[in-house]
Amino acid sequence: MVRNIGDADAVFAKGEKIQEADYYVPLLAHAAMEPLVALAEFKDGKATIWAPTQNPQAVQDIVSKELGIAKEDVICHVTLLVGDLGASRSRLRC
């Protein structure tokens, strides 16, 4: 069950009109239009990252925690990106 709204038993008990429908769509691949890749350089205790991310602040937080450095020492350059376009996946690939 993905979504459940209302009380079906109460509606059945009232004898009200009930409509049912099933909808099917084919499986579609969520293919990004930009490359799913990141490049990082760690030098002199600082990290510089280039990534097609919609959340550079999360990149900064995660990389700083993983490397044990200050957030100010992490720079994330956002490369050209198209957008999520409804794909249900994380855009962070660092």
* pLDDT tens-place string over residues 33-66: 777 789 999 999 999 999 988 899 999 999 999 9
Share of the chain above pLDDT 90, in %: 40
Averaged pLDDT, 56-83? 92
What confidence score (pLDDT) does residue 41 get? Answer: 97
User: What mean pLDDT do residues 75-81 have?
Assistant: 89
Instruction: Report the alpha-carbon distance of residue 17 to residue 60 in Å, rounded.
Output: 54
Average pLDDT of the chain is 82
